[in-house]
Amino acid sequence: MNRAARWMALCCLLALAGALLCGCAGGRPAPAQDGAESLVVVGFSQVGAESDWRNANTLSMQQALSPENGYRLILDDAQQKQERQITAIRNFINQGVDYIVLAPTTEKGWDTVLGEAKAAGIPVIIVDRMIEVADTSLFTCWIGSDFRREGDTAVAWMEEHLQGPLRIVHLQGNIGSSAQIGRTEGLDAGLAAHPEWELVFRGSGDFTQAKGQELMEALLARDTGFDLIYSENDNMAYGAIDALRAAGLAPGRDVTILSFDASGHALRLILSGEINFDVECNPLHGPRVQAVIEQLRRGETPPKFTYVEETAFDAEGLSEAVIDGRGY
């Protein structure tokens, strides 16, 4: 090959290499974006899945804070352990979420980790149970129930519908949680006002059906006499009802049963006569949390404390149509 031919071949090779380099650098289109970067990221530390109420609460959050509504929800189930919630919050901080939602296991022990969230500039919204911190600026706002008022509502029903001496079995929820504290305070106030009422048993069933049944079976085995069960949630009431049935007793007739939550199944047990009275605890916090986040994004200041509206039920005026229209 002569010099001219070699030169032409070299030019062709250089041109081909340049074309390849240009193709690698800019010829390939950028990957399509899926829109995830525009979503508002919310980390939600949930207590667990111990009850029908809790599951309805989780579902409400998932439905409100959905991709269709412009959110990406990171859900962490704490399995009833505060240390898992603290770890989850720190993970949310490290992930750089936009907002943190906390349904706390107990009222105390949050100062340090919420201080870390505040230092990171991440607003914290508390739902369901209250927390006790030295500096209330550690959380943006709280949304939940007036648990003491719930307890007072149950006691008022007892005063109106039950006359004479009462032997009371008290099934408590997670000790130290706001629901347990408020509902216990309500009953204690009733006991103080009525010397004819006697507390024959008090124990924690952790808001679970299995523990409620276990406590009731042990009590029945000791042949302790009682007239009324004050159960701090529906699932413990279900467990107590199973134990009573197994012992040959008629729930709601041989023993008066008061409960809290007013889930659909519990209300149907009111219709069948097995639960006598149930105080509502509204679990549908998702839309309220979404509304708070929208307020914050607009630069507005939401109320520091928001109590949800709640009612109570006995057999009077309750129907399947009412139950079907409630959503939980």
The DSSP bridge partners found for residue 258 are 230, 277
pTM of the model: 0.83
Per DSSP, 194 falls in state -
Q: What is the DSSP annotation of 181-193?
A: HHHHHHHHHHHHH
> Each residue of 122-138: b (16+ CB within 10 Å) or e?
bbbbbbbbbbebeeeeb
| Calculated CA dihedral for residues 318, 319, 321, 325, nearest 10 degrees | 30
pLDDT of residue 3: 39
Domains and CATH numbers, the chain: 37-144+283-297 (3.40.50.2300), 147-281+315-324 (3.40.50.2300)
Residue 15 confidence class, pLDDT cut points 50, 70, 90: very low
Phi-psi region of 214 (alpha: psi -120 to 50; beta: other; left: phi over 0): alpha
pLDDT by residue (tens digit) across 265-313? 999 999 999 999 999 999 999 999 999 999 999 999 999 999 998 999 9
pLDDT over threshold 70, residue 25: no
Pairwise CA distance, residues 173 & 231, whole Å: 8
**What does the pLDDT read at residue 327?**
79
Count how many Cα atoms sit within 13 Å of the Cα of residue 204 in the half-sphere of its side chain: 9
- Residue 302 carries which DSSP code? -
pLDDT higher than threshold 70 for residue 16: no
Judged against a pLDDT cut of 60, whether residue 7 lies above it is answered with: no
Give the mean pLDDT of 79-93.
97
Q: What pLDDT, in 10s, does the model give residues 32-43?
A: 334 567 999 999
